[in-house]
C-alpha cells in the first residue's frame, strides 16, 4: 500500500524535501498507510521518519523534525491507498445500475467506504463494516459520518438493499453513538415502499437518536431508462410529492418548536414537483446537506438575492435597473444590448427564469433552454446529470442567435472539466458559435447576467482537485 503523490504545494514541507508528483509514500514512523487519514494522524508527531519510493523504484528514508500542526503539503492520487471498499448491496433503487452502457468506468464504481463518508460526505449503508472498522472510527474519532438509512424497519431494509446484514442498522448506530460519533442520515424514498407509514417510523426512530443524529435528508428515488431491475419502482408525481411534503412538514414544525432546528429536510425535487414554494433559508439550518440536493435551489436564490442587495448598496435604485447594475459592476458597455441563453435541467428552469426576469431590461434578453435528458430518460430532470450531447442538441435552435451561453457547472466533473459523456469543456465550447461560460452559484448567475463583459466561469482551468466517487455525478445541481 502506498499513497502516490499527485501534486506538491509551493513553499510546503513536501517541496522542501524535494518530493515530486509520482513519488510513493510507503510508511510514516514505521506505520503502513491505508489512506490519507493514516497520513494525517501519523504526521501529527513532531519527529518523523518517512519511507518514500521514487518513480525509478529507489526507496529513500527521510528523517526530520516539524511543528505539531505542520502538514506535508501534498495531494495524493486517491484518498484511499488500499482500494475503495465496494458496496455489498444490490439495492432495488441503485443508480449505478442505471448508468448507460459504455460510459466512463468510474461511473460504475459502487463505493460504500466509511472513510469516504468521513472525508467527503459520501453516504454509506455500513453493511460491509466489521468490528475493526468501528474500532478505528472510535480510535480516530471519525465524526461526523453520513449514513444511508433508507428505513429503520429491519425486514424492509433487507428487502430494499437486498443484503442480509442490512437489518442490523440499529446496532451499528448504537456503536457509533457509543464512540461519541455524530452522523447525518439519508432516506432514498421509494414510492409505495418506504414512504407513508414506513417513513413515519423511520423519522420517529432517527429523531429519537438525537443529539448524535444530526439531520435527516429525504431524496426521491432516481429512475433512468437504463434500469433493468425487474422490481417495479415508480417515480414520484405531483400528487405523491405533495403528500410527502405535507407529511414531512409536520415533523419539521415539531422540531422547530422543540429546539429551533428543522432537522428533517426534503430534496428540492419534492417541492418543485409538487408545485410548492421552497422553504425559507432559515429552515435549512445552515444547509448541512447541500451536496445531497437539500436546499440547493434555495441557497442559489439566496446567493442571487445577496448579489442584488450588494448592487443596491452600491447605488442601484431598483432590482430591475439593469443599466445601474452594469454601471456599478464596472461594465463600460452598458448601452449594448445582450442576448444570453441559460441552459439547465428541466426541474430548475422556471426558477432560473424568474431570477433572470428580476434583472432583465431592454438591454438584456434571456432565453431559457431547459434540457430534456434524452440520455438517461426525461424523468431525470436535474442539471448535474445532463450530458454535453443533450445540451448541444437543445442549443441548436438558439446558439446562432445569442451573444453568449450559460451552462451548469454541476454537469462537469470537478478536477478535469469533463461532462458525463466524456466530452471536455473545451470541445463543447468549440462546437458553439458564441462564448460559453459556466455558472455554479447564485452570485455567479447574477454577475453573468449583469456584467457579461467581465464575467468568467471556470474556463479551461479545472476546478481544484478532489477525489470523487460516483456520488459526484449524482449531485442535484441548482443551475
pLDDT digits (tens, 9 = 90+) for 65-122: 999 889 999 999 999 999 989 898 999 998 888 877 766 555 667 889 999 999 999 9
pTM: 0.84
Q: 288 and 470 in contact (C-beta within 8 Å)?
A: no
Write 326-333 long-range contacts (CB < 8 A, 24+). 326/363, 326/450, 326/451, 329/447, 329/450, 329/451, 329/454, 330/451, 330/454, 331/450, 331/451, 331/452, 331/453, 331/454, 332/453, 333/453
Quote the DSSP letter at residue 461: S
CA-CA distance, 378 to 224, in Å (whole number)?
Answer: 8
User: In what helix (H) or strand (E) does residue 309 lie, and over which residues does it extend?
Assistant: helix 296-313
Cell 428505513: give the residue.
151
Domains of the chain (ranges, CATH numbers) = 3-76 (2.30.42.10), 96-292 (3.80.30), 298-474 (3.40.50)
What is the reported pLDDT for 107?
Answer: 61
Classified as helix, coil or strand, 302 is helix
The three cell numbers of residue 30 are 514505521
pLDDT above 70 as % of the chain: 88
Q: 179 and 136 in contact (C-beta within 8 Å)?
A: no
Helices (H) and strands (E) in the chain, counts: 15, 16
Angle at 370 between CA 367 and CA 373, to 5 degrees: 155
What is the reported pLDDT for 329?
Answer: 43
Q: Which of 164, 30, 149 is nearest to 88 (CA)?
A: 164
The three cell numbers of residue 69 are 500542526
Q: What are phi and psi of 451, to 5 degrees?
A: -145, 50
* Backbone torsion region of residue 475, taken as left when φ is above 0, otherwise alpha when ψ lies between -120 and 50, otherwise beta: beta
- Neighbour count for residue 422 (Cβ, 10 Å): 13
SS (H, E, C) 28-43: ECCEECCEHHHHHHHC
Digitized pLDDT (tens) for each residue of the chain, 479 residues in all: 899 999 999 999 999 999 999 999 999 999 999 999 999 999 989 999 999 999 999 999 999 999 988 999 999 999 999 998 989 899 999 888 887 776 655 566 788 999 999 999 999 999 999 999 999 999 999 999 999 999 999 999 999 999 999 999 999 999 999 999 999 999 999 999 999 999 999 999 999 999 999 999 999 998 888 888 889 999 999 999 999 999 999 999 999 999 999 999 999 999 999 999 999 999 999 999 988 889 999 999 999 999 999 877 665 434 444 454 444 444 444 457 899 999 999 989 999 999 999 988 888 999 999 999 998 888 888 888 899 999 999 999 998 999 999 999 989 876 678 898 889 999 999 999 999 999 999 999 999 999 999 999 876 544 333 333 333 333 344 56
Classified as helix, coil or strand, 93 is coil
Classified as helix, coil or strand, 48 is strand
What is the reported pLDDT for 318?
Answer: 42
Amino acid at each position: 500500500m502506498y499513497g502516490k503523490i499527485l501534486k506538491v504545494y509551493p513553499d510546503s514541507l513536501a517541496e522542501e524535501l524535494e518530493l515530486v508528483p509520482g513519488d510513493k509514500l510507503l510508511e510514516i514512523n514505521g506505520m503502513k498507510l491505508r489512506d490519507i487519514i493514516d497520513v494525517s494522524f501519523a504526521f501529527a508527531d513532531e519527529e518523523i521518519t518517512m519511507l518514500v519510493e521514487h518513480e525509478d523504484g529507489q526507496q529513500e528514508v527521510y528523517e526530520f523534525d516539524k511543528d505539531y500542526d505542520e502538514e506535508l503539503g501534498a495531494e495524493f492520487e486517491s484518498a484511499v491507498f488500499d482500494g475503495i471498499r465496494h458496496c455489498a448491496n444490490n439495492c432495488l433503487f441503485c443508480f449505478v445500475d442505471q448508468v448507460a452502457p459504455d460510459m466512463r468506468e468510474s461511473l460504475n464504481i459502487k463505493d460504500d467506504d466509511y472513510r469516504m463518508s468521513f472525508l467527503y460526505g459520501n453516504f454509506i449503508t455500513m453493511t460491509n463494516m466489521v468490528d475493526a472498522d468501528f474500532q478505528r472510527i472510535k480510535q480516530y474519532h471519525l465524526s461526523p459520518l453520513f449514513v444511508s438509512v433508507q428505513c429503520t424497519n429491519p425486514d424492509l431494509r433487507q428487502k430494499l438493499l437486498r443484503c442480509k446484514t442490512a437489518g442490523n442498522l440499529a446496532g451499528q448506530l448504537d456503536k457509533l453513538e457509543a464512540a461519541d460519533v455524530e452522523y447525518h442520515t439519508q432516506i432514498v424514498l421509494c414510492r409505495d415502499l418506504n414512504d407513508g407509514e414506513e417513513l413515519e417510523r423511520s423519522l420517529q426512530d432517527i429523531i429519537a437518536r438525537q443529539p448524535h443524529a444530526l439531520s435527516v435528508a429525504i431524496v426521491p428515488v432516481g429512475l433512468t431508462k437504463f434500469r433493468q431491475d425487474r422490481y417495479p419502482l415508480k417515480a414520484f408525481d405531483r400528487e405523491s410529492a405533495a403528500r410527502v411534503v405535507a407529511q414531512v412538514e409536520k415533523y419539521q414544525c415539531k422540531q422547530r418548536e422543540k429546539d429551533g432546528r428543522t432537522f428533517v429536510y426534503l430534496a428540492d425535487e419534492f417541492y418543485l414537483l409538487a408545485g410548492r414554494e421552497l422553504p425559507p433559508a432559515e429552515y435549512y439550518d445552515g444547509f448541512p446537506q447541500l451536496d445531497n440536493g437539500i436546499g440547493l435551489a434555495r441557497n442559489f436564490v439566496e446567493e442571487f438575492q445577496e448579489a442584488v442587495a450588494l448592487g443596491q448598496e452600491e447605488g442601484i435604485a431598483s432590482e430591475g435597473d439593469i443599466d445601474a447594475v452594469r454601471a456599478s459592476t464596472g461594465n463600460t458597455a452598458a448601452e449594448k444590448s445582450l442576448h444570453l441563453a441559460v441552459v439547465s435541467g428541466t426541474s430548475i428552469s422556471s426558477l432560473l427564469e424568474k431570477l433572470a426576469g428580476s434583472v432583465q431590461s431592454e438591454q438584456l434578453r434571456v432565453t431559457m433552454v431547459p434540457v430534456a435528458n434524452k440520455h438517461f430518460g426525461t424523468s431525470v430532470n436535474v442539471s448535474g446529470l445532463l450530458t454535453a450531447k443533450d445540451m448541444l442538441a437543445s442549443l441548436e435552435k438558439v446558439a446562432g442567435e445569442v451573444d453568449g451561453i450559460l451552462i451548469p457547472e454541476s454537469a462537469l466533473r470537478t478536477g478535469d472539466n469533463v461532462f458525463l459523456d466524456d466530452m471536455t469543456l473545451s470541445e463543447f465550447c468549440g462546437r458553439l458559435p458564441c462564448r460559453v461560460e459556466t455558472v455554479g452559484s447564485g452570485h455567479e448567475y447574477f454577475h453573468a447576467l449583469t456584467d457579461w463583459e467581465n464575467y468568467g466561469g471556470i474556463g479551461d482551468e479545472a476546478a481544484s482537485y478532489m477525489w470523487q466517487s460516483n456520488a459526484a455525478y449524482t449531485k442535484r445541481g441548482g443551475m
